[in-house]
Chains A and B, each alone.
Chain A
């Protein structure tokens, strides 16, 4: 409310309406965040069932996770699938973003729509379609099959993030490099890439997360011997809610938050380099995104 008053909130501004609004906001944030904080204590519970608050503390569920060949195999498979997805999606998506963000050719809008559509179309549809195709190609139950399918889902995320980074790059820097005699490849390698590198790395992190957390495609493509971590969790939750899942979930939350913080730091760097929100010219590129 005081945003257009240059951020000055005088004592008189603290009226009932604002107090109510801030209280409401606090409750909404609690709704958004509380469930995740509830999992953490549950995972250290000494009980055999899910009860809150836990009657006592123990590491039994972590011990169960770290000594279970099935859970560890699922985790290792997920890490490998996510790493492969990250490499494929970041490579393909960055190239596509370079083409789409700057290129002026016919059908660019349509192409952009196609590239973004795996993010928009319900995953269940993509999942059964890819399952049908991969069953014929005998790619179900393989690491390559999972990574290829996840790449389809991760490409749009990479394209969106890298495109946004590119919007902020001053084309004059590239023109200057070329006027000084650099060819296109050299210009890209020595000028464009260093500027967008934090954006690309942050896109890679998100591509990893997309694959690592993906359940629905994994549900169809996993075989009894190749279950990803989310598929293993899904089965565990469906059969019986045992608190091992709480321990695994806590580990997933800690890992995700660590990756997100890393991406956030990189984004801060990217914005300093290309002039994102907060420095001049930050708002304008966003407005352009409206017309793909």
Chain B
């Protein structure tokens, strides 16, 4: 385009302002880069450099070694932690999709004003402290909590159920915290589905279920995959909720990292675990990169 307009300009020489504008635009591009520079410096010093230091720690302790990584992949205890981390993330993702899809569907199909109210109801919990929300579930699920009180009064159980400090607590808490991550990307795809396609299906004789299953659902899958990737990648590194609601056996990778660094000051091994978690996160991001555009993150942060 630049070349063509330059050629055109030199031949006709009737539109010199095109060239002027392009020169401005090119310089403008670099000027814009200058605006990003302070943030770039801050992130290089406070984010990239520390991450690099962690990578070095995991490999040099103090001499070059791969033993920390070998320990991760050969010790059955740590392999078990990796397995549980994946299993938890996968189950939480499924639960979030199952609960999030109907909610997103209703949000995308009710009249605008009501949809606005529903969006706020989904966003508000998202922006309330994860710690507070996890604590709320400790209050709900404890021996004298709301759930057990209800079950006892209704005569469903005779003894209070053990609902937290075990895997059930982890699943309930993480699903609760991550549900907005599933709802918002699905909603943002669903509300942009062309309603004419559904009208066309119904005009051609499809009933409402058929038009949903054959037209709406396939078109919404993009949102479903992006929601799944977002929830899964967030669940992989989750810390606060599993640490408070899980039992002694529900140790996730993030909790193992915290323990190695904070309690045992075992920096080499802790760093190797952190690099493994980082690698797994990046792997998921790369596999799903087509579904994780800025729009997916944007939809969660802004709720639009």
Q: How far is the CA of A212 from the CA of B101 in the complex (A)?
A: 31
B59 contacts A by Cβ under 8 Å: no
A177 contacts B by Cβ under 8 Å: no
Residues on B with C-beta less than 8 A from A105 are: 29-30, 32-33
B195 engages A3 (CB within 8 Å): yes
Interface residues of A in 249-292 (CB under 8 A from B): 249, 252-253, 256-257, 260, 264, 267, 276-278, 283, 286-287, 289-292
Residues on B with C-beta less than 8 A from A93 are: 39
Contact mask for chain B residues 259-290; partner A; CB cutoff 8 A; 1 contact, 0 none: 00110000100110010011001000100000
Contact mask for chain B residues 113-145; partner A; CB cutoff 8 A; 1 contact, 0 none: 000001011111101111111011111101011
- Pick from A59-67, A68-76, A79-87, A154-162 the stretch touching chain B: A154-162
B274 engages A124 (CB within 8 Å): yes
State whether A21 and B106 are in contact (beta carbons under 8 Å apart), knowing that A152-B46, A234-B131 are contacts in the complex. yes
Chain A residue nearest in CB terms to B105: A21
B57 CB to closest chain A CB, in angstroms?
A: 7
A35 engages B103 (CB within 8 Å): no
Q: How far is the CA of A161 from the CA of B298 in the complex (A)?
A: 8
A119 contacts B by Cβ under 8 Å: yes
Q: How far is the CA of A50 from the CA of B147 in the complex (A)?
A: 13
- Pick from B7-15, B63-71, B74-82, B233-241 the stretch touching chain A: B233-241
State whether A35 and B32 are in contact (beta carbons under 8 Å apart), knowing that A206-B301, A215-B131 are contacts in the complex. no
A180 contacts B by Cβ under 8 Å: no
What are 29 contact pairs spanning A and B, CB under 8 A? A4-B196, A31-B176, A36-B125, A36-B128, A36-B133, A38-B139, A38-B146, A42-B139, A50-B142, A51-B144, A52-B149, A53-B149, A92-B39, A95-B38, A96-B38, A99-B32, A99-B34, A103-B29, A103-B32, A152-B42, A209-B127, A215-B129, A220-B262, A233-B131, A241-B142, A245-B135, A256-B128, A276-B304, A290-B293
The interface of chain B, by Cβ under 8 A from chain A, is 25, 28-36, 38-40, 42-43, 46-51, 53-54, 57, 99, 102-103, 105-106, 108-112, 118, 120-125, 127-133, 135-140, 142, 144-146, 149, 176, 179-180, 188, 192, 195-196, 198-199, 208-209, 233, 236-240, 244, 254, 257-258, 261-262, 267, 270-271, 274, 277-278, 281, 285, 293-295, 297-298, 301-302, 304
The interface of chain A, by Cβ under 8 A from chain B, is 1-4, 7, 17, 21-22, 24-25, 28-29, 31-36, 38-39, 42, 49-53, 92-93, 95-96, 98-100, 102-105, 111-112, 114-126, 128-133, 148-149, 151-152, 155-157, 159-161, 163-164, 184, 206, 209, 212-213, 215-216, 219-220, 230, 233-234, 237-238, 241, 245-246, 249, 252-253, 256-257, 260, 264, 267, 276-278, 283, 286-287, 289-292
